[in-house]
Amino acid sequence: MREPPRVRLAVALAVLLAAVGCSTVPIKMRNAQTGQVTQCGPYTNMHPFFPELSPHWKAERECINDYQRQGFERMPVPVDEK
């Protein structure tokens, strides 16, 4: 027995989303004392609905935390980059 077309389409879309994933926007960090600017990311293959399930999410968190320990602060994201 064949699956209805809607079910096949839903499965195909789910597989496509899982395979492609998402890419994050680079997180820019600035050191207030030196003026140095750096960034974390962008990271690819983030899970589209639950990014914390992706190993890249942990790498992004670690990058941000590392720079914050060095005196960097997150910079606001311009509207055109969201």
Domain that holds residue 60: 21-81
Backbone angles phi, psi at 16, to 5 degrees: -60, -45
- Tens-place pLDDT, residues 16-54: 555 455 667 889 999 999 999 999 988 776 666 676 777
DSSP letter string over 8-55?
HHHHHHHHHHHHH-B-PPPEEEEETTT--EEEE----SB-SS-GGGSH
Q: How many domains does the chain have?
A: 1
For residue 21, the SS3 value is coil
> Which pLDDT does position 69 carry in this prediction?
97
Closest CA to 28 of 18, 39, 17: 39
- Tens-place pLDDT, residues 3-26: 677 777 766 666 555 545 566 788
